[in-house]
Each structure stands twice: as structure tokens, then as C-alpha cells.
Structure 1
């Protein structure tokens, strides 16, 4: 049994759901069904298919850095996968493009997943864990949106939380790496906007505390899934309130 907790394994899992699809269905609807998206929500379908297109590129990059294997053979089906991820083909019926997903495509993805498992592996995360963090994110987003903090910093925080929410909603495509990248972007925003956030913390302590707890939770979540050390050795409140600037040290 090959490992499905890496990019190739996740793509295999998604494309396997195409089996038995109605040949008369539009490609966009076949994608929606495979991804668990409402057929009427074409925007979300497009977003997720775009992530899958990027996923194929990630698989290619990872396979090519693996020495001693036949890269061309393993990646021979990538161009056909790209055809069914193209929005230009969404208006076509499944029977018109299904030949691009022949059995050898899935077989090659299995081999790719097996090769990637030699150096890239994530710990499986349950839907319940993802749902729990998503609930926290949604609650914080609404609380921030309705808060009285400065509009400029509010927009920064809402954008970062939306980035995290998107990474969580696309977890079954991008995995923990997507969450980690969202976390890193949020940490960057925290550092860049440290003075403004510290000012907000004086009058909206609860909101900033919840943001800190969310970041800590995401850090623990992504590091566990990716089997790496946490990005933060101390709670994010340390960054917000207790870190001395280099200039302070020099002045001392």
C-alpha cells in the first residue's frame, strides 16, 4: 500500500473519485462532485481545481529532485492531468476528456507517491481536527470583523485569517504545507505590524489573545503533520509584547 499523505498520494485520492462519473456530465460538475463542492458553486470549484493544477507542479518538482529514478517515466502522464484541470475544458462532457485519465495515469501517481514517501511524508490529520480549527478561525474572523479596532490593522488581520481559512478548506489538496505557508505569512504580518498590534492589545486584549492562541495552535498542528519542529518556541504574545528591538539592546 502506497502512502497517500503526500502530494502525489493526495492527487491520486482525488482523481480516483472520477471513476464511474457520468459520461454526459460536464467536466466542471465531475470536478465538483470529486471535491465535494456544490455544483452551483463554480467559483469554489475553480479555486480548488487551480490548487490541484499547482499540486501537479509540486509533484513534478519533488520527483525531479529525487536522484536515481526515471523522472520521465513517472511524470509521463502529467500533461494529460493538466488537460482535465484546465478551465478551458470545463464546458466539455466527461466522455470527451475522460481518455486523459486512463488507468496508467493513476498507476504512475501511485509510483510517484511511493517515491515521495521515501523523503516526504505527512502525518494523517482527521477531518475533526481540521473542523475544530476551522471553527476557531471562523469565530475569530467574525469577532474581528465586528470589533472597533483601527480599520487598517483590522484589514491586515482579516486578510491573514482568510488566508488561513482558505488553507484549511483546501487541506485535502495541499495538506499541512498549505497551512504552514499561511502560518508563515501570518507570522510575517505580526512582525511587520508589531507596533500597531501592541497598541490594539491595550484596548482589545481578548482579540489579540485569541489571535495568539490561534497561531500557536496552527503552529502545533502543522509541525505535527509535517513532523518538523514548531516555528515558535514561545507563544506569539511574546512577539507582540515582550520582544525587545535590537535598537533597545544597543541603547542599553
Structure 2
């Protein structure tokens, strides 16, 4: 599934996926599955739901900004969508929320997403690709804990690998902006420790670190940004290049 570059499209994808769940499901289980929340981690789930609510507001504002003329038909779905989260009870049956996600409402969101595509551009990073990146990051996190790196560097790599993993989990909600910001932050964090990283002589540790930098580079290359966005090939990414040697 392609993750859209505009907030209406991302909201539509999330709600369409949620709507596919059976009415007899428990609301908590539905949102955990749709938002890829860690099983049993209620704190993470609530934060992700809060981000979806924020995405809904972003979607509404985007339509108000870009739709010329009568906006009524494009904003109409939000009257029902507001009800999905107005009195959310995670322990209730999914049917209480699903009733507001009828086909008319979801189709209207799809039309809004189509209209905004020309404004936001498109890029290719699918849900399947994000899962592949997440799996690679999780393996690198395990490798990090078993590495011979000094404890400060081990903590640096593990923390930043996990933050990238979390950003990819949230990618279907936050879109390119959130992921781009996190990649930039990680590059900056790594660059500040460049001297310590270069001082490592253990071949296994050097191989591990190279794998980390390569996945950051691969993630960068996999994000085909819209013309209005800035590619991650500027100074922040260049700062990592000496560490790839």
C-alpha cells in the first residue's frame, strides 16, 4: 500500500484499514493492529491515537487551504469522523466507532486526497517497505546489544536505531515530514560523535556501524520526495559520509 504525501490521503488509508475490521472486534485491538502499536503497550497506543486525531485536524485544514470555491462536500466527512474519537472507549465493540466509517464518508475522503495530490506531490515508500526497514532496524538493535562497542556508543546507536524504528511505525500517520525530521536528527546525533566512531578499531564493531549508516543511506534513497520537499542529500547527510569509509 502506498502511503500518501497529503494528510487527507493518509487519514483515508488509516480509516479504510480500520473499517475492514469486524464489528465484533474490540476497539483497542483494532487500533493496535491498524497503528502497529506494541502489543499491550497502552501508553504507545494512546499516543498514536492522539497523533491520528491531530492528523484529522491537519487533513481538515489542508482542504480548507487548497479547495477553491465551495468546500462543503470535501469537509462533510469530518462531521462523522469527529464522532469516531469524540467518545472513544477502547474496551467497547468496534461497531460503536465503525458505524461512522460508512462508504460515503470514506469515498469523500478519497476524493479529497485525489484533489490534494497535485498540491503535495507524490513519492514512493510503501507500507511494505517500511515493514522491511523496521525489521532491519530491529535486527541492528539486537546486534548493537551484542557488539563490542564502548557503552556510550552502544547506547547512542541503540537509542537512535529505536527512534528511527518508531518514526517508521508512525510514518503512516506523520508522513514524510515526521520521517525526514527524525532522519535529520539521527544524522546530527551520529555526526557529533564522529571522532569516537572513527576511533573504533574492532572490525566487528566497524562492520556493525557501517551497516547502520548504510540503512540510513538506503532509507534516504527510498524516499522519493515531492518537488516541494528537500532531499536528504544536503549538508546533514553529507556529514555522515566520512563515517561510511
Structure 1 length-normalised TM: 0.73
User: Does structure 1 conserve the Cα–Cα contact (< 8 Å) formed by 2:140 and 2:212?
Assistant: yes
- Alignment-derived partner of residue 206 in structure 1: 207
Matching of residue 144 in structure 1 with residue 147 in structure 2 = no
1:15 paired with 2:18, answer no
- The CA RMSD measured in Å over matched residues stands at 3.6
Q: Which has the larger radius of gyration?
A: 1
Matches within 5 A, 1:218-233: 218-222=219-223, 224=224, 226=226, 230-232=231-233
Q: Is the 8 A contact 1:176 1:226 kept in 2?
A: no
Aligned to 1:195: 195
Higher relative contact order, structure no. (Cα contacts within 8 Å, ≥ 6 residues apart): 2
Q: Which residue pairs with 2:114 in the alignment? A: 114
Distance verdict in 2 for CA 1:128–1:225, change over 3 Å: farther
Q: How many residues align?
A: 237
| C-alpha contact 2:143 2:208 (8 A) present in aligned 1 | yes
Which residue is equivalent to 2:59?
59
Q: Residue 217 of structure 1 aligns with which residue?
A: 218
Residue 71 to residue 190, structure 1, CA distance change in 2 (3 Å): farther
Aligned counterparts of 1:102 and 1:225: Cα–Cα separation in 2: 32
The aligned residue for residue 246 of structure 1 is: none
The separation in 1 between residues aligned to 2:65 and 2:198, in whole angstroms, is: 43
Pick which of 129-138 and 116-125 moved more.
129-138
- Quote the Cα distance in structure 2 between the aligned partners of 1:202 and 1:60: 53
CA distance in 1, matches of 2:244, 2:17: 48
User: In terms of mean alpha carbon deviation, does 95-104 or 207-216 score higher?
Assistant: 95-104
* Change beyond 3 A, Cα 1:76–1:198: farther
What secondary structure, in the 3-state scheme, does the structure 1 residue paired with 2:91 have?
coil
Deviations 1:36-93 (A, max 9, x none): 8699645465454344223223323433442635456533443643442468422333
- The offset of 1:19, in angstroms, is 4.2
Structure 2 alignment gaps of length 5 or more: none
Residues 1-252 of structure 1 correspond to what in structure 2 (within 5 A)?
6-19=6-19, 21-32=21-32, 35=34, 41=40, 43=42, 45-46=45-46, 48-66=48-66, 68-70=68-70, 74-78=74-78, 80-85=80-85, 88-199=88-199, 201-203=200-202, 204-222=205-223, 224=224, 226=226, 230-232=231-233, 237-240=240-243
- Tell me, in whole angstroms, the C-alpha distance in 2 between the residues paired with 1:77 and 1:181: 30
The alpha-carbon deviation at position 186 of structure 1 amounts to: 0.7
**Which residue number corresponds to residue 250 of structure 1?**
none
The superposition leaves residues 102-133 of structure 1 with CA deviations (integer Å, 9 ceiling, x where unpaired) of 44432331232022112113334345533443
